Amino acid sequence: MPTNNSSTLTVSLPSEREIVLRREFDAPRDLVFEAFSKPAHMAQWWGQQGSTLPVCEMDFRPGGAWHFVEHDKSGNEHGFRGEYRDIQRPERIVWTFEYEGLPGHISVETMVFEDLNGRTRIAATASFDSVEDRDGMIQSGMESGAAESYNRLADYLRSMA
């Protein structure tokens, strides 16, 4: 595991209705993008440490839907769903994100995959309809969940290489 801060998730709030997550990975951009593009890959790393993703349905194309159900290590079930709005391989994915436990609170997330000469930086900007929705997402523990998921992704990328 790298000891520099580039492997650490950073979270910023550039506006009242946005959250930006940034993280670098020790893998080429094509490989990192690939890990986001197929259910067989997503099921290996998406979610908190110790969780599984028994439902991982993806129609990976603009207009296609996705649906994940995560089982956490305590046995709780969490459903998530959305739609792919734009895919520019290997630079960008835009999708909607909705936690099924709070229906109707939908964010739009734009993930940009930046090539860093063999490494990759992901910048994910989530845009919300209201300050309350953004603050609710922050209070949900999303930062620690995202950090755990990205740590799992880093491990998975090493196995894919």
Q: What average pLDDT score do residues 13-32 get?
A: 97
Q: What average pLDDT score do residues 40-54 get?
A: 95
CB 71 within 8 A of CB 54: yes
The span from the CA of 99 to the CA of 136, in Å, is 12
pTM, to two decimals: 0.92
pLDDT digits 0-9 by tens, 14-23: 999 999 999 9
Q: How many residues does the chain have?
A: 161
Residue listed under structure tokens 């991982």: 56
pLDDT more than 90, % of the chain: 89
| pLDDT band, very low/low/confident/very high, at 86 (cuts 50, 70, 90) | very high
What's the pLDDT at 60? 98
When comparing pLDDT for 101 and 59, which is higher? Answer: 59
DSSP 6: G
Q: Which CATH number is associated with domain 10-130+140-160?
A: 3.30.530.20
Residue listed under structure tokens 């930046």: 114
pLDDT at 6 over 70: no
Domains of the chain, residue spans: 10-130+140-160
What's the pLDDT at 7? 78
CB neighbourhood size of 36 (10 A): 21
pLDDT at 2 over 70: no
CB 24 within 8 A of CB 120: yes
pLDDT digits 0-9 by tens, 106-137: 999 999 999 999 999 999 999 999 999 999 99
